[in-house]
Amino acid sequence: MNSFSGKNMTAGYGGADIIKKCNIEVTQGEIVVVIGPNGAGKSTAMKAMLGMLKLKSGSILYKNQEITKMLPQERVKLGIAFVPQTRNVFSGMTVEENLEMGAFLRNDNIYKTIKEIYDLFPVLYEKKNQNVGELSGGQRQQVAFGRALMTQPNILMLDEPTAGVSPIVMDDLFSRIIEVGKTGVGILMVEQNAKQALGIADRGYVLVNGENRIEGKGADLLNNPDVRKSFLGG
């Protein structure tokens, strides 16, 4: 199976290191969740894996090949997509225009993929000619997911996909994430709603102060007393 991993990643933004010898891996077809307190380095690790942040030490591997020095757009071409927490859609463009923008690196017929995304997210088909800025927060997130899927990725990275949405919308988004995973895409997700995220995860990582603290199967982390006490409300 194709895997994407960060090995012994150490990086920061010019001051103290934010992540320290951090290890994260996702295999195509599985859902992996990264949890931890605010400031633990979760989003920093994602940015380092995409190449948005230069490593001080460590390496990034994809399909057993080192890609540490590749630019982010080169990693996207390999099959790695990223949905940031904010500014992840073009609000002044329609749903369909956003999806078309997601295929800017492709030279083939993109409309078969657009149909697949409409099948996955039916509400987007209903609103395909509507400006994304007029949609609800959950619907905008579906547009962001869809636009990332237009690159036909093997790996999809999601940074706080349920931030700022209601519990009902959060449940729907997690259901959509499960559906994407069923298509064979590997999903690496940073998420504050730890209990719900671990509930759909094959595996999970707990980061504290930029370091790996606990890792294991999602179900095992849900039942781990230390994880429950610190991150799941008891």
Each residue's pLDDT tens digit, 64-112? 999 999 999 999 999 999 998 777 889 999 999 999 998 887 889 899 9
Does 158 share its domain with 148?
Answer: no
What was the pLDDT predicted at 14? 87
State percent of the chain over pLDDT 70. 99
Q: Are residues 69 and 35 part of one domain?
A: yes
* pLDDT at residue 49 is higher than 80: yes
Among 203, 179, 175, which residue's Cα sits nearest to residue 189?
203
> Structure pTM?
0.91
Answer whether residue 84 is part of any domain. no
Mean pLDDT across the stretch 145-162? 92
For residues 101 and 148, the answer to whether their CB atoms sit within 8 Å is no
- The string of pLDDT tens digits covering residues 2-31 is 799 999 999 999 889 999 999 999 998 999
Tokens 């290890």 belong to which residue? 23
In the sheet that 17-27 helps form, which strands lie side by side, from edge to edge?
17-27, 3-12, 57-62, 65-66
Tokens read off for 104: 């800017």
Count of structural domains within the chain:
2
pLDDT, residue 107, reads 84
Helix (H) or strand (E) holding 139: helix 137-149
Residues 222 and 108 in one domain: no
Give the chain's mean pLDDT: 92
23 and 107 in a single domain? The answer is no
Q: Indicate whether 231 pLDDT > 90.
A: no
**Beta-bridge partner residues of 217:** 203
Q: What is the CATH number of the domain that holds 220?
A: 3.40.50.300
Asked if 31 and 68 sit in the same domain, the reply is yes
Domain containing residue 107 = 89-152
Within-domain flag for 220: yes
- Under the banding of pLDDT at 50, 70 and 90, the label for residue 113 is very high
Q: Band of the pLDDT at 192, cuts 50, 70, 90?
A: confident
